[in-house]
């Protein structure tokens, strides 16, 4: 492998500016790496070599003219395959969109192309971003680069695996209930979910519109901070987009943490944690103490209801959002329907996988006449209480910490027949989406088999700068992030 692929985006940018390597060479090196290991990992649904090399050529032209490069120009990036890129297949890893070629760009894609970031391919995911293991893809299962018999986490498993295995230096994922942070934890990299509305969702295939948020994957906190800067900003095409200035997150990573308060979420330290995960959390507490922080135990009593709340709200929204996939205007259509109703039912029965069908049925039931108030309305009321509990906690502390997941990556197929066990994987991450706050997972150690463990850090709404500061200080005080998957 080209040694430069192991470097951070910041180091690769420096090498490009110093003309140690050209952007075209770096992009080709990424494709060589993909060619050599992709058969083992399955991180990509499709590659976009022509688009990537055209972007890389523009970077080299700018360097040759001595012009200043935009942030992250020339750095190879994987785009989760539920974000639109003109001329590429955008499948959401579903049979129903298997041959759909995107006629437009997502806003985040426009921003990446505007910053001359080469998009090397569309990363595999759980179908329509529904899952915690990336085993629900209609195409390939994604394998964890640290152990090919284990899951990479979901739903952004392909994005995380591509960065962890150095097929790409950066990636974008989407996070509805932990779909960036969980794969980051399982794959030993940094994954960050911004405040709801910080990044435009225009051109992201919707799962649950009040929860979905696009965010960055990287191998360092600094790279994640820079990637968030590139994709952030107000977008008139997204009615939930926040009209706020974009901050230079990476400029404030070195803020002093002396006297700051770190809250440890009591309910996420109790039963069900692997001993090594418990130990990693203790190490994180000690790290923050050494950095001069005060540790405060915080109880979030309503957090235990978050899984129930989430699986009513998310499935209800998915039931509404996925109604558009009916075989009429685009996407898969059944071959042998005798009438319109049969065409709808057969198209959806053949086009959607079992997990997507399960969630559509749950959501349709929750929204049905006579049950709406008992389920959907009640869940929205409970969501408000969970949000209020987070707001109260942040009056006492600057950030909250917990394990990203109670366990490390599990074997492929281990939870496939038990949806409830799979859903409980997200116990620590879902509250962040319900409350619309930013969260990050950073490498925090390894279990006794060498699999990565993630530390989750949460901050109040719009406090991404604070979140990155705490994450960076933790990262630099330890060297977990320096260890790469040996593949």
Residues with catalytic annotation?
A: 80, 155, 179
Which H helix or E strand runs over 46?
strand 44-47
Q: How far from 431 is each of 177, 305, 447, 482, CA to CA, in Å?
A: 8, 9, 25, 29
Residues in the chain: 487
**b/e map of 365-393 (b: 16 or more CB within 10 Å)?**
ebbeeeeeeebbeebeebbeebbebbeeb
Burial class (CB in 10 A: 0-12, 13-18, 19+), 252: middle
Q: Where are the beta strands (DSSP E) in 319-425?
A: 399-403
The structure tokens listed for 355 are: 């997990």
Question: Which tokens belong to 487?
Answer: 């593949």
What whole-number distance in Å separates Cα of residue 201 and Cα of residue 232?
Answer: 11
Backbone angles phi, psi at 440, to 5 degrees: -140, 145
d(CA 369, CA 384): 23
Question: 3-state SS of the chain: helix, strand, coil percent to 5?
Answer: 45, 15, 40
Q: Which two tokens stand for residue 40?
A: 């083992």
Query: Half-sphere exposure (CA, 13 Å, Cβ side) for 180?
Result: 31
User: Are the CB atoms for 146 and 177 separated by under 8 Å?
Assistant: no
CA 465 to mean position of chain CA atoms:
18
DSSP annotation of 235 reads -
CA distances for 160 relative to 77, 356, 453, 469, angstroms: 11, 22, 14, 22
CA distance linking residue 362 with residue 44, whole number of Å: 30
């Amino acid at each position: 492998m080209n040694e430069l692929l192991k470097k951070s985006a910041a180091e690769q940018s420096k090498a490009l500016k110093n003309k140690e390597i050209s952007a075209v060479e770096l992009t080709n090196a990424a494709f060589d790496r993909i060619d050599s290991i992709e058969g083992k990992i399955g991180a990509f649904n499709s590659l976009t070599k022509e688009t990537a090399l055209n972007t890389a050529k523009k970077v080299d032209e700018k360097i040759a003219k001595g012009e200043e490069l935009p942030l992250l120009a020339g750095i190879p990036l994987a785009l989760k395959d539920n974000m639109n890129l003109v001329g590429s297949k955008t499948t959401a890893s579903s049979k129903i969109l298997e041959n759909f070629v995107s006629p437009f760009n997502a806003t985040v894609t426009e921003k990446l192309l505007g910053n001359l970031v080469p998009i090397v391919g569309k990363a595999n995911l759980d179908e329509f971003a529904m899952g915690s293991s990336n085993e629900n893809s209609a195409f390939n299962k994604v394998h964890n680069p640290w152990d090919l018999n284990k899951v990479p986490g979901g739903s952004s498993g392909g994005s995380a695996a591509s960065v962890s295995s150095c097929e790409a230096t950066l990636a974008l994922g989407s996070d509805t209930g932990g779909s960036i942070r969980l794969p980051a934890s399982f794959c030993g990299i940094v994954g960050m979910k911004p405040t709801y509305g910080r990044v435009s969702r225009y051109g992201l295939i919707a799962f649950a519109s009040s929860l979905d948020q696009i965010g960055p994957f990287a191998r360092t906190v600094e790279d994640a901070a820079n990637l968030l800067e590139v994709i952030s900003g107000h977008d008139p095409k997204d009615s939930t987009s926040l009209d706020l200035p974009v901050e230079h997150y990476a400029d404030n990573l070195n803020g002093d943490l002396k006297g700051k308060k770190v809250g440890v979420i009591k309910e996420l330290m109790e039963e069900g944690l692997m001993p090594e995960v418990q130990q990693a959390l203790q190490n994180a507490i000690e790290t923050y103490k050494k950095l001069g922080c005060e540790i405060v135990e915080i109880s979030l009593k309503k957090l235990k209801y978050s899984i129930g709340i989430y699986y009513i709200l998310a499935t209800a929204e998915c039931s509404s959002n996925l109604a558009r996939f009916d075989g009429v205007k685009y996407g898969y259509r059944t071959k042998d329907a005798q009438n319109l109703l049969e065409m709808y039912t057969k198209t959806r029965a053949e086009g959607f996988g079992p997990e997507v069908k399960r969630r559509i049925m749950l959501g349709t039931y929750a929204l049905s006449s006579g049950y709406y108030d008992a389920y959907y309305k009640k869940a929205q009321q409970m969501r408000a209480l969970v949000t209020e509990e987070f707001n109260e906690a942040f009056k006492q502390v600057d950030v909250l910490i917990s394990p990203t997941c109670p366990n490390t990556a599990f074997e492929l197929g281990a939870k496939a027949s038990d949806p409830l066990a799979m859903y409980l994987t997200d116990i620590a991450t879902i509250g962040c989406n319900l409350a619309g706050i930013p969260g990050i997972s950073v490498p925090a150690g390894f279990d006794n088999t060498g699999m990565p463990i993630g530390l989750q850090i949460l901050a109040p709404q719009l406090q991404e700068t604070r979140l990155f500061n705490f994450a960076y200080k933790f990262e630099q005080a330890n060297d977990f992030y320096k260890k790469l998957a040996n593949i």
